[in-house]
């Protein structure tokens, strides 16, 4: 599991704005982000897969490195710890949605990345559950020795997983800075979203569709927190998504323990009958 996703998102957010500034185009920023995500994914895999370093330590180091690097580069390039007003991603208005009360306002007017996410989820689900490569990818984490016995190197699949993680997290950061905040970068603007993404993966049992639903739930509670800021201190509303994260993780742990107890009871019952 990669807990360095927060750092990947943060670097994607910075290099998206930097590329937009450099090429005077948001799509130039997206191109730079894709390259950066590829390199960061390779960097993570180099230490975790090649050198067999502890993935949690490398993930923590990556998050710390990303915060320091983006802060330093932002102050060096823009003269401040933040920057705004650069070319941003265009918003998309779907004509049919305008006619639907309430949902039209909720689902319309977002950056292209929001709508591409629906396609990404479908493509990833098909890739993971309906192709041999997806089966090998899952087996490389769950049963690597079995995969090796079949003549397939699990290390190659781990490299692939790390690269995909780096690219997708970087694109998430690009959406944050170029789409959601309209060409704006601020120090530590990922704001621990990578850890929430990590929780979504665990809650969704590494299933893209379930993880996406978990992310929607987090987004819903985050939006509620923003609405409540008119009535309650932002210090209190800001903890809502993270409180939900803790509740979800407790649920996952309790549910896993319940399944293990149930499996143990079934095994004892079979032994008693035999």
Closest CA to 16 of 166, 192, 184: 184
pLDDT at residue 255 in the model = 82
pLDDT value, residue 158: 92
Rounded to whole angstroms, the Cα distance separating 140 from 145 reads 8
112 beta partners? none
pLDDT at 64 exceeding the cut of 90: yes
| Spatial separation of the C-alpha atoms in residues 209 and 30, rounded to whole Å | 25
Query: Phi-psi bin for 192: left (phi > 0), alpha (psi -120 to 50), beta?
Result: left
* Alpha carbons 120 and 208: distance in angstroms, whole number: 9
pLDDT of 122: 94
| Residue bearing the bigger pLDDT, 48 or 234 | 48
Say whether pLDDT at 131 is over 80: yes
Exposure string (b/e) for 72-93, b if CB count within 10 Å is 16 or more? eebeeebeeeebeebbbbeeee
Is the confidence at residue 274, as pLDDT, over 70?
no
Does residue 146 have a pLDDT over 90?
Answer: no
d(C-alpha 12, C-alpha 177), whole Å: 8
CA proximity to 67, closest of 57, 55, 75: 75
Judged against a pLDDT cut of 90, whether residue 130 lies above it is answered with yes
Bridge partners, 185 (sequence order) = 83
pLDDT category, 156, cuts 50, 70, 90? very high
Q: Whole-angstrom Cα distance, residue 4 to residue 230?
A: 33
pLDDT of residue 73: 93
Residue 271: is its pLDDT beyond 80?
Answer: no
DSSP H or E segment with residue 61: helix 55-78
Report the candidate in 239, 242, 253 with the shortest Cα–Cα distance to residue 202: 253
Phi and psi, residue 212, nearest 5°: -65, -40
Whole-model pTM? 0.87
Q: How far apart are CA 139 and CA 147, in angstroms?
A: 6
- Pair of tokens at residue 37: 């995500």
Residues 260, 262, 267, 271, CA torsion sign: positive
What is the average per-residue pLDDT within 224-244? 77
The reported pLDDT for the residue numbered 206 is 83
Mean pLDDT of 221-236: 77
Chain-wide mean pLDDT for the chain? 88
- Which of 41-50, 195-204, 234-243 has the highest average model confidence (pLDDT)? 41-50
What are 66-100's pLDDT values in tens digits? 999 999 999 999 888 778 888 999 888 877 777 77
- pLDDT for residue 174: 95
Which tens digit of pLDDT belongs to each residue from 12-50? 999 999 999 999 999 999 999 999 999 999 999 999 999
Highest mean predicted confidence (pLDDT) among 42-46, 108-112, 219-223: 42-46
Determine the pLDDT at residue 58.
95
């Amino acid at each position: 599991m990669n807990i360095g996703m927060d750092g990947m998102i943060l670097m994607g957010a910075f290099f998206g704005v930097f590329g937009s500034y450099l090429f005077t185009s948001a799509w130039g920023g997206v191109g730079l982000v894709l390259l950066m995500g590829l390199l960061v994914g390779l960097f993570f895999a180099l230490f975790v897969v090649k050198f067999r370093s502890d993935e949690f330590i490398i993930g923590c180091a990556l998050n710390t490195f990303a915060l320091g690097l983006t802060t330093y580069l932002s102050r060096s390039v823009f003269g401040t710890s933040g920057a705004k007003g650069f070319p941003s991603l265009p918003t998309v208005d779907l004509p049919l949605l305008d006619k639907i009360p309430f949902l039209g306002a909720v689902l319309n007017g977002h950056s292209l990345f929001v709508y591409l996410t629906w396609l990404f989820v479908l493509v990833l689900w098909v890739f993971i559950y309906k192709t041999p490569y997806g089966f090998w990818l899952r087996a490389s984490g769950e049963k690597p020795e079995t995969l090796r016995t079949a003549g397939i190197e699990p290390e190659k699949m781990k490299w692939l997983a790390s690269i995909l993680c780096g690219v997708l997290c970087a694109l998430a950061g690009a959406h944050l800075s170029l789409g959601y905040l309209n060409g704006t970068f601020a120090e530590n603007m990922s704001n621990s979203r990578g850890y929430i993404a990590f929780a979504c993966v665990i809650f969704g049992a590494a299933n893209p569709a379930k993880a996406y639903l978990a992310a929607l739930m987090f987004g819903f509670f985050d939006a509620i927190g923003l609405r409540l800021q008119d009535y309650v201190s932002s210090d209190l509303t800001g903890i809502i998504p993270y409180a939900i994260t803790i509740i979800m993780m407790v649920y996952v742990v309790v549910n896993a323990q319940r399944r293990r107890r149930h499996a143990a009871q079934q095994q004892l019952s079979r032994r008693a009958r035999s």
